Homo-oligomer: A and B are copies of this chain.
Amino acid sequence: MRAALSEPADRSSRRRSEVPEATVARLPVYLRALHALADRGLTTVSSEALAASTGVGSAKLRKDLSHLGSYGTRGVGYDVAELVSHISAALGLGRRRAVVLVGVGNLGHALAGYGGFDERGFCVVGLFDVDPARVGEQVAGLVVRHLDALPEAVRSTGASIGVIATPAAAAQPVCDRLVAAGITSVLNFAPALLQVPPGVDVRKVDLSNELQILSFHEHRKAVALVEQDDRHTPRGVSA
CA distance A209 to B113 in the complex (A): 17
A184 contacts chain B at the CB level, 8 A cutoff? yes
Q: A60: CB under 8 A from chain B?
A: no
Interface centre among A24, A92, A201, A205 (most CB of B within 10 A): A92
Residues of B within 8 A of A110 (CB): 106-107, 109-111
A90 within 8 A of B: yes
Checking B99, B120, B184, B216 against A91 with a beta-carbon cut-off of 8 angstroms, the contacting residue is: B216
Q: Is A55 an interface residue (CB 8 A)?
A: yes
Binding stretch for chain B, among A27-35, A72-80, A129-137, A173-181: A27-35
Question: Which of chain B's residues have a CB closer than 8 A to the CB of A114?
Answer: 106-107, 207
Say if the beta carbon of A83 comes within 8 Å of chain B: no
Interface status of A172 (Cβ within 8 A of chain B): no
Q: Which of A4-12, A145-153, A218-226 contacts B (4 or more CB under 8 A)?
A: A218-226
Interface string of A204-237 (1 = CB under 8 A from B): 0111111111111111111000000000000000
Q: What are 6 inter-chain pairs, A to B, with CB distance below 8 A?
A: A28-B212, A29-B209, A93-B212, A114-B207, A184-B218, A185-B217
Which A residues are closer than 8 A to B by beta carbons?
19, 24-25, 27-29, 31-32, 53-55, 90-93, 97, 99, 106-107, 109-111, 113-114, 116-117, 119-122, 160-161, 184-187, 191, 193, 199, 201, 203, 205-222
Contacts A116-B207, A186-B214 aside, 14 further interface pairs with beta carbons under 8 A come to A25-B209, A28-B213, A91-B212, A91-B216, A92-B216, A92-B222, A106-B110, A106-B113, A109-B109, A110-B111, A111-B207, A120-B211, A122-B215, A201-B218
